Structure 1
């Protein structure tokens, strides 16, 4: 009797998701050996090629590694995995909750946005600075509908992040706004204080154009932090 059979479409993807959830949920703790290939094939009623493909994806996600003895060992994902795993965590049956991950992503957004504003004030060209100011005034005319403000806000911040000339920040920004991370699914009404503060958006744009990098950083952090939930988060050790 198998514990769980996999549907026939996208077999390796489904098996990867099951094994990922076991690792994230602690069913396969760090340092333990992953179930042998033949046993996984028997458990889920799939062929060994599907198992190998699933394990390959686990390796790419830095959830497991093949030891010198040939065994596949589970890694401590909190130490080995990258930001791309956040997608898996959001869809997982185990590990951190979507609410916790959304909070974490909003905190990251505030940190990246603040430093991007600082770097933008230092690095962006004069035409780019002028465009940021113009976009801020367009933002001021976008309300009061929160959905419209949300779209205008993303467009405005993209100019700032691009102006920072930091590729890592830009790629993280893309993940934050395109739905890869759950922050993109946070309801606009939870960001009301930030989105409706038109004056601060305009002021931040003016600080960037005036090359006042430290003031821009402080104001950006203050603005973005308004959307971070105030509820305490459990510390994971």
Structure 2
């Protein structure tokens, strides 16, 4: 009988085991309703101690991937029903290293819905100090409009500043999840989303709206900006 797990080397033990088991569940090798192997089996196959096994299982429970049962008969859950946003980065690329277009477009759809509201909230609360920080980021971006990598970094800093300035913890945590998800496919999106990264005009409009507390102008400019990236990705995946 083939082993479920690979030996774990040179990684924090519970983290590495969590990553392996999470991958098995997301890829469908461990299906909803199935029981995880016992802690003893997991320990023997992975080569980690029982304490690390229990910690990994606890993390799987927190992520909505398993239900912890008495007697160690832990059950795999359907992550689509029980999972949290923590799983998004893992879903973007499968175990074979292939990007899932449906998940990418789902993340972009969430971004298109949330980004305008983040900008609007930042405009309501941010004021001159935030606008000054945004202008500094834009100044750097304008100095390198042909350097897509630098523009990509600048755009991330711009949006992070907006997210941290808004007064909605749900938006902030959702932004953090989207940022981590985005980093999983960072290099693959650099050229696909070039038009958005070069769209400094709408970013400047957001900064102006923040300075003048113009909520609707911030929302409109943000929507126009992120729609460039969303439409570019939709076009690329439509050709696949």
* TM bucket normalised to smaller: 0.7 to 0.9
Task: Deviation per CA, 1:97-130: give whole Å up to 9, x if none.
Answer: 4444333333333332211111112111333234
Question: Cα distance 1:40–1:160, how it changes in 2: closer, same or farther (>3 A)?
Answer: closer
The equivalent residue for 2:151 is: 149
Match of 1:230 in 2: 234
Alpha-carbon separation, structure 1, partners of 2:25 and 2:205: 46
Q: Does 1:86 align with 2:98?
A: no
Query: Which of the pair is proportionally richer in helix?
Result: 2
Change in CA separation of 1:48 and 1:178 when aligned onto 2, cut-off 3 Å: closer
Partner of 1:55, secondary structure, is: helix
Deviates more, 1:213-222 or 1:34-43: 34-43
Which secondary structure state, in structure 2, belongs to the residue aligned with residue 230 of structure 1? helix
Q: In structure 2, do the counterparts of structure 1 residues 205 and 35 end up closer, same or farther at CA, with 3 Å as the change threshold? A: same
- Structure 2 match to 1:63: 65
Cα RMSD (Å)? 3.4
TM-score by length of 1: 0.78
Contact 2:202 2:224 in 1 (8 A): no
Matches of residues 34-45 of structure 1 in structure 2 within 5 Å? 34-41=36-43
Aligned residue for 1:198?
A: 200
Mapped partners of 1:49, 1:7: distance in 2: 15
Q: Which residue in the other structure is 1:209 paired with?
A: 211
What secondary structure does 1:62 align onto? coil
The number of residues matched between the two structures is: 234
1:76 CA displacement: 1.7
1:24 to partner: Cα distance: 1.3
Does the aligned pair in 2 maintain the 1:101–1:182 contact within 8 Å? no
